[in-house]
Structure 1
């Protein structure tokens, strides 16, 4: 049982998915964290070329711990949940994610993961490429300026020394790469419900999406019945 939220970088997918998971008592799956973890490994290995890195994928052991409020991620036994949020990884993650073999590696992991639970997941191509038969699909969007402002505030609160222009340029670059990559580009699934969050408060967008989830029978009672079936 899976609900997916797709959209461009900085549209608020992860924070929204976390809050919806908390409200509805389901597990949160952060697909972006998985790509960031693989990007971290690529950087740690000295930025190897494509062929060499593809071979290294077989030595990457990903493990996650998910509940309604947290998504912890481990690579080869070591936790990297906080480490993957650096500015350096943000600069390179779209490049790594554009490699078809990396996408297949992550997609296979996610498909296996959701076989044993109820999840809400956020990403770029979940509703179109990874979970085309998802039980419910959202597509979140916002203007570039709005997304940059949110991401800048988030990074500054974490003590990262960045400027608003740097964040905006990075998001614009990621948009370009995500929309034009050969493997599973960012796009709005035809059957997704579009949520434009430009000018909306966090509570407004959460309430709007939560109401839709309830109308689609994703109540705690329905979820419990699904897990017992």
Structure 2
């Protein structure tokens, strides 16, 4: 059966990773969470005191990018690949609100994007991949056979993210999460290097009022139709 590349872009907390994992599992494809890659770089910067509320040593971070090794290992129990930073499983650490507050700043840096985009392109050389992020359909895989752009209202996305963090016992407020979502939207959409935009040939999916099951079924049909063309 023909294999294709599926590129999923969109705003934060639109459930890109969730549906990307579902599609990859249903199709027997490789799933790559590019957001986790940027989060891992942000975590490294935090761990090495390169970024804080009032400080960001961009030059230093760029100078040590060759020391940052990011990989994914499939977890049979969880059913998806977890992200590793320099050999350590950091799947939980990269999902915190603190990392979320730093990741868009890190993703703005051209040297960081160049390094990770190169890795992402290599991961998708053989097709049969589902990749989600901010610039997959526009920069990483502009020739992807299926491009999806996920969106939802700001309030809906903040509520989803808030519930997710509370379930993980994070001490956060809805207002802080909403502010983070709004801030990331602004940075992601206005950065000079590879801003978040909908590719001309991408199919927009507004999932504000879609259940996870309904969303998955809709996207699976789109993928199957494209594969059978």
Q: Distance in 1 between matches of 2:163 and 2:70?
A: 30
Count, aligned residues = 219
Corresponding residue for 1:198?
Answer: 208
Say yes or no: does 1:87 pair with 2:90. Answer: no
How do 1:8-47 residues align onto structure 2 when only pairs under 5 Å count?
8-47=11-50
TM-score by length of 1: 0.91
Give yes or no for contact 1:26–1:67 (8 Å, CA) kept in 2: no
Q: Partners in 1 of 2:69 and 2:35 — Cα distance?
A: 17
Post-superposition shift, 1:12?
0.9
Of 130, 133, 136, 2:140 maps to: 130
Separation of aligned partners in 1, 2:107 and 2:125 = 23
C-alpha offsets along residues 18-66 of structure 1, whole Å, 9 cap, x if unaligned?
1111222212110000000000111111115111110100111222225
Partner of 1:55: 63
Per-residue CA deviations over 1:129-172 (Å, capped at 9, x if unaligned) read 11101121000100001111111111111111111111111000
Structure 1 segments (4+ residues) deviating >4 Å: none
Secondary structure of the residue that 2:62 maps to in structure 1? helix
Quote the residue 1:226 is aligned against.
none
* 1:158 matched to 2:161: no
Q: Map 1:139-178 onto structure 2 (within 5 A).
A: 139-178=149-188
Q: In structure 2, how many angstroms separate the alpha carbons of the residues matched to 1:75 and 1:147?
A: 27
**In structure 2, C-alpha distance between the alignment counterparts of 1:71 and 1:180, rounded to whole Å:** 30
User: Are the counterparts in 2 of residues 36 and 93 from structure 1 also a CA contact under 8 Å?
Assistant: yes
Give the superposition deviation at 1:115.
2.1
**Distance in 2, Cα, partners of 1:36 & 1:136:** 25
CA distance in 2, matches of 1:213, 1:141: 18
Check whether the contact 2:75–2:82 (CA below 8 A) recurs between aligned residues.
Answer: no
For residues 195 and 151 of structure 1, the distance between their equivalents in structure 2, rounded to whole angstroms, comes to 18
- Measure the CA separation in 1 of the matches of 2:64 and 2:171: 32
